[in-house]
Structure 1
C-alpha cells in the first residue's frame, strides 16, 4: 500500500477495490431518483441551466434544491476527498462515499482544483447536518488500520470517556503490531461533570487501569485527558510528544468510531505539532456526530522539534502561564466540582507568514454546540499553496485513520436526527431522581430501568444528553407508557411515531444485582452504550435488584467501579411532591485560558444573569 501524497492521491488498489465493491452493491438495484440528494454547493455556483428551480410552498421550510447529474462514462479518479479520504467518483450511487456531481467534477478537474474538493457526503455533513447511509463493513475499516503494522510509528489511541471501557479498541496490538508505543488519550473530558475535587487524576488512573485490563501491557507509555473540541490538554500533549517521540517516525490517530479522531486531527493541524505551512495547504477533515465519517487515511506533516523551535515554543507557553493560563490542569486537586467545562487555548509559535490569522485558537465553551461556527471549524477552504519536493522528501506525518466500528452500539440503531439528539455536544448536567422499589425510569424510549428489589429508596443520576427526556412511572404502568408514548414527544428518542417504532428493535430485559455503598457514593453505573449512563446510589450494604430493558444489540451493561462515584452530590433541592431533584448549572473551568481575575468576573456575570 502506498500512502497518499500531499495532494491526496492514492496509488494503492485496496481502497479502490473496497469502494468499487460498495458501488457494485449499490447499482445492482434500480436507482431511486428521490434518494439522489443534490444541493446547491456554496463553493461551486453552477450555471442557471443546471439548477432545478422549484417554487417554495408558502407554508413550511423549503427542501434542498437539486443540481448536477452522475456520469457513467467517467472513470473513478485517483484523487481522494479532502474531507473523508474516499476516492472521488461520478457513479450514481447515493450511498457511495466520494460521489461528486459530474458538472462540479469536470470543472474542478479542468481548473486543477480537484485535490482540494470534498464529496457530496462531506458537504451535506458539514453544511446541512445530513448523513447519507453508507455501506462500509467493519472489516474494511480494520483493513485500513492494519496498514500500520509494518511501519515504525507512534500510535495515539483516542478513547471516548463517555463510553468507557467499550470505546477502547479491542485487540489493538493485533491491528497495529506489538512493537508500537501507544499513548492513550481520554477524549471528551469537557463533557464530564466534576463530581468532587481531584476527579481528573482519578479518571486518569481509571482509564489506565482499563487499558491494562484490555491487555495493552507495557506498550502504553503515557495517558492524557484531553478535549479535542475545546483544546483542553492539547498544549501539554504536544509538549509531551515533542519531548518523548521527537521526530522518530510517523504518528497515527487510532480509535473507535465517534471517539473524536478527526476533531483532534483538525486541532493539531492548527498547532505547533504541524508544519507551519501545512495549515494553508491541507484541508481540514470532515467532522460530525455520525460514526464512520472518515473513510480513508488523512494526513499532515509534523514539525521537527529542533532545540531552537522547542525554546521558542517554551517561551510562548511561559508568557501564557504568566497571564494565568494552566497547561496541566488535570494535576490540580483543587478544582471545584461545579467548574467542570474543560477548555483551553491552542497556539502557534511559527506561521508561514502569507496568511493573516490569529496566532491562537480560542475555544468558547458556551458556543461549542454542534451546528455553530462550523464553517470556521470544518468548512472547506481553498488552498492556493502547495509543498515543494524538498519540503516533504524527509517529512514524517500524522495520519487520521477511519474509526473502528463497535460491535454493539446504540447509535447504529438510530437515524441522523436521533443521533444528533443522543450524542452530547455540551457539558452533561446530571439529572437525579429518587426511586422506590416498584418504580421505573425511562431514558427516552432507548432504555428502561426497573427498580425491582431494595430495602430503601435509591438515587438514579442520569448522565445523558439534555435533549433526551427522562420519565418516571410505576412498574405496573411502564409497559403502557412505552406502548403509548414510544416515538412521541414524552419519550423523545426515537422520534417518528408508531411508524418509526416498527423499525426500532424491541427492548430485551436483563437483570443486575448490586450492593449499596452509602448515600454519598454510587454503587455502579448502568451503561447505555454511547448514549451515556445512569449512576445508582443506594444505602450501604443494601442489595439492589434492577431490570434493564434495551435493544439486544445496544451494548447495555453494568460498570463497576462507577466512573463518577460522587455524582449524586451534584443534585439540587428536591422538587416538592415529585421524584425529581433540581439540576445545578455548572460554571466554566478556570483552565479556559482566562486569568483568575477574568474567570471570577465571568462567574459573577453568569450568577447575575
Structure 2
C-alpha cells in the first residue's frame, strides 16, 4: 500500500481521497465538487481532494452536502453480501451512542472485530480486561457477536501495530470493512493504519468532529489485491455530538487521561456537569461519589431542592458548556432514576460516568435523546 495506489480506486472515475466522494466539476452544491484548476493540480500531485475536504482540512469550514441516512445504510448493506472481515469502531466513552443499530443484520455471517477507541484517556487504574469484558457484554446485548475486542487510541496511535497484526491474522486474504457511527474516530484510526503501513506522516482521510465527514467508500489497496475500506459514519441521533457544537465537544470529550474527582455527598444533593448533565443523590447514607469526566468540564454542587432553579439561573453562564449564545438551542435535560444495590457506574453517554459505592437512590439527567445507563463498576 502506498500513496500512488491510494488514488487508484479500480475504475476510471476519480474520487476524493479525503471523504470518498466521486469528483465532479459541474455543481458547487453537490458532493465531490472540485474546481477544474484544483482537479488538475490534484492529478499532478496524486493528492486529490474535493473542495469540501480542502476547506475542512485547511480552514475547519464544513460545507453541508446531501447525504442521507438511507444512503449510508445502503452502503453498509453491501457488507453482508460479501465474504469480508468487519472491523467495528466504537467510542469507549459513548458505547451506547456508538453502537450501530441492527449491525448484526448487515454483517451477516462475516466475523466482527470490535475496536474501542480513546483508550489513552482512561485512568491508568482501569484494567483493560474489564473494559473489554464490558464491551463484549454490550455488544452481545445488541445482538452482535465479535470474536475479539481491541483497545486503541486513534489520536496517539496506541496499539495500532497490534491492531494491524490482529486484522492480518483474521482477514485471510479478504477485504476489510471498517464501520462505525459518526464521531467515534474511525477515520482517525484509518489514517494511523495508513501511516503504520506506508510510513506516510500526513493524514490522508479527512477527519473532524463534525458528524458525517466521510461521504462514500474509501478503498485502500492492500498488497495481496484485497482492500481496506473506510465506510461513511452511520448517523446515530442519540450521540452527544448531535446536541453540542464542535467547540463544546472539545470541552466535554476527554482529550487526555481523566483525573477522577470525588465528592462526599449527603442525600438530596446535586452535581451539575456544566449545563450538559446532572446527577442527583436522592436517598441513602452520606457517601463518596467519584466523577470520571473530561478534566475541562467543571462540576458544581448544590442542594437538590434548589437544583432546578439553579440550573435555569446559571445555564450558559456559571454552568457551561453550552455557553450563553448556544444554550437556547440545547435540548432540555430529562431525568432517569436508578436504585443502586451494589457498587455501580452511572454512565452518561459521550461524557463519562459517576461511580456509586453504596446502596441508594440516584437520578441522572441528560439531554433529551441521549442515553444514560447503569453498569457494574469497571474500576
How far apart are 1:10 and its partner, in Å?
8.8
Match of 1:553 in 2: 369
1:242 aligns with 2:168: yes
SS in 1 for 2:178: strand
Query: Which position in structure 1 is the counterpart of 2:133?
Result: 205
What is the CA-CA distance between 1:527 and the residue it aligns to? 2.1
8 Å CA contact 1:8–1:81 kept in 2: the answer is no
Q: Distance in 2 between matches of 1:80 and 1:113?
A: 14
Among 443, 449, 465, the alignment partner of 2:294 is 465
**Out of 318, 321, 340, which is 1:514 matched to?**
340
Partner of 2:196: 271
**Following superposition of structure 1 onto structure 2, how do residues 409-488 of structure 1 map, counting pairs within 5 Å?**
409-454=239-284, 456-488=285-317
Consecutive unaligned residues of structure 1, counting only runs of 5 or more, are 13-77, 305-394, 518-522, 567-609
Higher strand share: 2
Residue deviations 1:465-518 (CA, integer Å, cap 9, x gap): 222211111123222321222112x212111x1x53222222222222112x4x
Question: Which structure has the larger Rg?
Answer: 1
Q: How big is the shift at 1:265? A: 0.9
* Rounded Cα–Cα distance in structure 2 between residues aligned with 1:174 and 1:424: 32
1:524 correspondence with 2:344: yes
Counterpart CA distance in 2 for 1:116 and 1:206 is 41
Distance 1:484 1:397, change over 3 A: same
**2 CA distance for matches of 1:206 and 1:441?**
26
C-alpha separation in 1, matches of 2:302 and 2:102: 42
Change (3 A) 1:86 1:449: same
CA separation in 1, counterparts of 2:260 and 2:65? Answer: 34
> The residue matched to 1:271 in structure 2 has which SS?
helix
1:503/1:238 Cα in 2 relative to 1: closer, same or farther (>3 Å)? closer
Structure 1 residues 452, 402: closer, same or farther in 2, change over 3 A?
A: same
Structure 2 residue 225 is matched with structure 1 residue 299: no
Asked if residue 404 in structure 1 is aligned to residue 234 in structure 2, the reply is yes
Q: State whether residues 227 and 233 of structure 1, in contact with CA within 8 Å, keep that contact through their aligned partners in structure 2.
A: yes
Give the structure, 1 or 2, with the largest relative contact order (CA under 8 Å, sep 6 or more): 2
SS in 1 for 2:98: coil
Asked if 1:86 is matched to 2:12, the reply is no
Cα offset for 1:291? 2.4
TM-score by length of 2: 0.88
Rate the CA distance shift 1:6–1:460 in 2: closer, same or farther, 3 A: same
Deviations along 1:111-170, one digit per CA (max 9) or x if unpaired, are 544963323432343333444455533222212221222222111111211122442323
Partner SS state of residue 127, structure 1:
helix
Please list the CA deviations of residues 364-412 of structure 1 after superposition, one character each: whole Å capped at 9, or x if unmatched: xxxxxxxxxxxxxxxxxxxxxxxxxxxxxxx110001111122412221
Structure 2 equivalent of residue 107 of structure 1: 37
Q: Distance in 2 between matches of 1:227 and 1:436?
A: 38
Partner of 1:494: 322
CA 417–293 in structure 1, closer or farther in 2 if over 3 Å, else same: same
The equivalent residue for 2:179 is 254
CA contact (8 A) 2:273 2:299 kept: yes
| Aligned mates of 2:240, 2:92 — CA distance in 1 | 16
- Taking the aligned partners of 1:88 and 1:288, their CA distance within structure 2 comes to 20
* 2:121–2:258 contact (8 Å) kept in structure 1: yes
Matched position secondary structure for 1:162 = helix
Whole-angstrom CA distance in 1 between matches of 2:315 and 2:92:
29
How many residues are aligned here? 373
Partner Cα separation in structure 2 for residue 108 and residue 493 of structure 1: 39
Which secondary structure does the structure 1 equivalent of 2:326 belong to? helix
Shift in alpha-carbon separation, 1:255–1:558, aligned structure 2, 3 A: same
Residue of structure 2 in register with 1:340 after alignment: none
Structure 2 partner of 1:145: 76
Secondary structure of the equivalent of 2:116?
strand
* 1:120-131 map, 5 Å: 120-131=51-62
Task: Assess if the C-alpha contact under 8 Å between 1:524 and 1:559 holds in 2.
Answer: yes
